[in-house]
Amino acid sequence: MPRVLISFLTFHWAAAFALLSMACVMGGNGGAAQALGMLGLAEGDLLAHAAATPLLSLASAVCAMLFFWAFAASVLGDPAAEGGDVTSMAFASAALLISLLMICGSVNVVAGLYPAVAVHLAALLASYLAIQAERLAAVISASPGENDIRAAARIMALGAAHVSMLSRLSGRTDANFGGGN
């Protein structure tokens, strides 16, 4: 089953966090304010420290790389072996970054902080739930292969032969030898 939604959403978030990181780097000293403007946050004293711009850029780049890794795993990976650990780490890191921005903004009283953070966290949650729903649908719709059916039939036939052999060896002729009263 094609994983279109997983691929699209992980690429979307990878691009979004990469743009956020690039806005921090390209903006120079005002890069953090420009990046926060992209998030819908009013410019304020949220990141007034000189170390805040590289930290926001680095955190955004880490989120972007995790989402890109999840994208590559969904496109190139084996659907049977896909565990979703990278996707979960990517969403957790993104939620942590947005939450840390909210904490910093709460301390410094930034206008429009809570609606912007709520929208971004809701979008992350909706994306995560959509990805999990697509994975669940893929698991449910996966039908057993012909080899699985043959292997199950072989195991049942071996079990029946074993019960029949035990019945003959013991001299018992009742049909309930293998598990009855």
Looking at residues 157-166, what average pLDDT do you find?
A: 84
Nearest one of 77, 57, 106, 56 to 10, comparing CA atoms: 77
The separation between CA 123 and the C-alpha centre of its own chain, rounded to angstroms, equals 14
**73, 13 in Cβ contact below 8 A?**
no
Domain ranges of the chain: 4-141, 145-181
pLDDT tens for each residue of 70-81: 999 888 875 545
pLDDT tens for each residue of 14-23: 999 998 888 8
Q: If you average pLDDT over each of 123-127, 168-172, 173-177, which comes out highest?
A: 123-127
* pTM of the entire predicted model: 0.69
Write phi, then psi, for 43 (nearest 5 degrees). -70, 130
Nearest one of 20, 80, 66 to 47, comparing CA atoms: 20
pLDDT tens for each residue of 83-136: 578 899 999 999 998 888 888 777 766 667 788 888 889 999 999 999 988 888
pLDDT tens for each residue of 30-66: 666 666 666 666 555 555 555 567 788 888 899 999 9
Q: How far apart are CA 141 and CA 134, in angstroms?
A: 10
Q: What is the pLDDT of residue 80?
A: 47
Where do the DSSP E strands lie in the chain? none
